Structure 1
Amino acid sequence: MITNQNSSQPTPLNKGNAQNQVNQPHKRKKKYTPHGLSGFPNLIMNILFAAFSMMCIFPFLYVIVISLTDEKTLARNGYQLLPEIWSFEAYRYLWQMKDQLLQSYTITIIVTVLGTLVSVMMISLYAYAISRKQFKYRGFFTFIAFFTMLFSGGLVPFYIVATQFLHLRNSIWALILPLAMNAFYILIMRTFFQRSVPESILESARIDGASELRIFVKIVVPLSLPGLATIALFSTLGYWNDWFNALLFIDEPHLVPLQSMLMKIENNIEFLRQNSLAGGIQNDLLSAVPQDAAKMAMVVISTLPIAIAYPFFQKYFVNGLTIGGVKE
């Protein structure tokens, strides 16, 4: 038997290569950037995005400054980024109605939390049904959802159905049910379920005897948290900023949400302004009301809670919007 004696011994060439690899300095890895740029182009890109971010933040900061500006200074100098006289008079004026505002805040928080839960549940169930190919009528129900994006029955039929058939007038459900379903959100979740939930996992669960509801709760929901968080954020913004349904259906003062209460306060201020020509007493009353500053203060107290909560949903929000554009 002939054996290769040189097979177990390293050749001089291999020794040289090993020595070169030891002596060769390690190459620096390029720093990863999301847009693939480095150096001066990366600096320019960061400056542009920083400028764009400031353009988005600046209007809200400007509103905060105006709300803290003295009313006479506003009347004399107009809006300024650095006013001559700072004042909390607008917030003191709103604090005089603290009981009504706190009640409205409570109603708005209840409606927002409960409405978001109901909306996410209904939208996700509807979207999951029309995302499954084995569902016989998924084309019909998809068309029904899409049809409502193009055509509407109008305000009068909507009001009749809500008050005469569902008896929602002066009920907290009048602030929840009209916004619970949204066709655009349904289509977003349908696409999300189709792209992010593998059909093989669902088939394995069906083979093991799991029902569709169990599959949805135990498998689909945990895999779809980014999409559900996106829809929850959209629904939260919709419920928080809603004032129209309260204008239609709510007459009881203890059920008025925050946006409607702020609109009533603004209307009262506008009423004082329009009727300020009757005499000196009314002019004194009008001068004591911080008109423009109070309006900006109302914007601040209605926007600040959502602005604080948004960063906690931002990661899921971005993932949920971009997942639909990725093809397998």
Structure 2
Amino acid sequence: MSRTRSVNWGQSVLNLIVALFALFCIIPFIIILSSSMTKEMDILTGGYNLIPKTVDFSAYQYLFQRMNVVLNGYKVTTFVTIAGTFGSLAVTAMVAYPIALRRLKYRRVISGYVLLTLLFNGGMVPWYIICVKYLNLHNSLAALILPALVNGFNVFLMRNYFSTIPEELQESAKMDGAGEMRILWSVVLPLSAPVFASVGLFVALSYWNDWWLGLMLIDKAELQPLQLLLRTIVSNVDYLANSSVLSTSVDQMMPREGIKMAATIITIGPIIFLYPFLQKYFVKGLMMGAIKG
């Protein structure tokens, strides 16, 4: 009985610690949400608070006046995130699966090449020349997808998970006449949902939050991703607010801090709802992919 009570007491303490940690993680999001609905003068005089002193939706009104631009950015970013995530998972799996097989002759050489991409890069200027001049990745949706399609870390994470799958299953399928692609599709992939969920979440977050590719490779406003559009809006507001001619009137009209926080809320909303659907796979895939070298 005493042992049962001690276990229950220890579990209660652990639950309390996790609850407090979760609360600390939620507090910054609440502050951002509160600040997006707070008057500019209240933020400047009293700082950021959990509860707004005076509720003011002028920041959202300013962004909603440009709703057509924001919605277009949402369309571009949503398409890029979905297409990029599925494409990245497919290519990453086709790279990771062969180097996870012990029977592949030059798998260490291929692994070394993948590792090289994590340690060195050619620099921004050669990267830009290759993307624009040789690959013609300029002012197209492919420019927002292809440069970030494969990441060496994700390849190793997926490779390590594939290595945990017993090779006897693959050999059995091979004896039944299945080829490598058939084994990958029918045997390996159904057992790899955790690592696909983990890597997919990493890739989706990367594509959703990316603005660098749009800044470097996109000139057309209708092809700019959401993050870049909102970054441009915030930059324009800061520029107008700091103008010596318009500073007084703009300070009264435009809540600079509120617009920044409202832009954060608008961009973070959809992606934050993706995690609960992947939570049951996330930790397992991350651990299984990391412990086996």
Which category describes the TM-score, using the shorter chain as reference length? over 0.9
Q: Write the distance in 2 (CA, Å) between the matches of 1:326 and 1:122.
A: 23
> Is 1:300 matched up with 2:268?
no
Q: Write the distance in 2 (CA, Å) between the matches of 1:102 and 1:189.
A: 34
Question: Which residue matches 1:314?
Answer: 279
The answer to whether the 8 A contact 2:157-2:290 is kept is no
Alignment of 1:153-232 (within 5 A): 153-195=122-164, 197-232=165-200
Q: Write the distance in 1 (CA, Å) between the matches of 2:45 and 2:166.
A: 64
Among all aligned residue pairs of Structure 1 and Structure 2, give the percentage whose two residues are the same amino acid. 38
Instruction: Report the residue type matching 2:100 in the other structure.
Output: S
Alignment of 1:1-328 (within 5 A): 38-195=7-164, 197-275=165-243, 277-278=244-245, 283-324=248-289
Q: Count the aligned residue pairs.
A: 292
Q: TM-score, normalised by structure 2?
A: 0.95
Instruction: Report the residue type matching 2:224 in the other structure.
Output: V
Q: CA deviation at 1:324?
A: 3.2
Q: CA deviation at 1:29?
A: 11
- How big is the alpha-carbon RMSD for the aligned residues of Structure 1 and Structure 2? 1.8
Q: 1:29–1:204: structure 2 CA closer, same or farther, 3 Å change rule?
A: farther
The answer to whether the 8 A contact 1:101-1:258 is kept is yes
The answer to whether the 8 A contact 2:195-2:289 is kept is no
Q: Write the distance in 2 (CA, Å) between the matches of 1:160 and 1:259.
A: 24
The ranges of structure 1 where at least 4 consecutive aligned residues each deviate by more than 6 angstroms after the TM superposition are: none
Q: Write the distance in 1 (CA, Å) between the matches of 2:55 and 2:195.
A: 44
2:74 aligns to what SS in structure 1? helix
Q: CA deviation at 1:78?
A: 2.2
Structure 1 spans left out of the alignment, 5+ residues: 1-26, 32-36
Instruction: Report the residue type matching 2:180 in the other structure.
Output: E
Bigger CA drift: 95-104 or 215-224?
215-224
Q: Write the distance in 2 (CA, Å) between the matches of 1:324 and 1:284.
A: 56
Q: Write the distance in 2 (CA, Å) between the matches of 1:40 and 1:30.
A: 9
Q: Write the distance in 1 (CA, Å) between the matches of 2:109 and 2:239.
A: 51
Structure 2 spans left out of the alignment, 5+ residues: none
Q: Write the distance in 2 (CA, Å) between the matches of 1:79 and 1:324.
A: 40
Instruction: Report the residue type matching 2:212 in the other structure.
Output: F
2:273 aligns to what SS in structure 1? helix
Q: 1:191–1:71: structure 2 CA closer, same or farther, 3 Å change rule?
A: same
1:220 aligns to what SS in structure 2? helix
Instruction: Report the residue type matching 1:137 in the other structure.
Output: Y
The answer to whether the 8 A contact 1:272-1:286 is kept is no
Larger radius of gyration: 1
Q: Write the distance in 1 (CA, Å) between the matches of 2:48 and 2:82.
A: 36
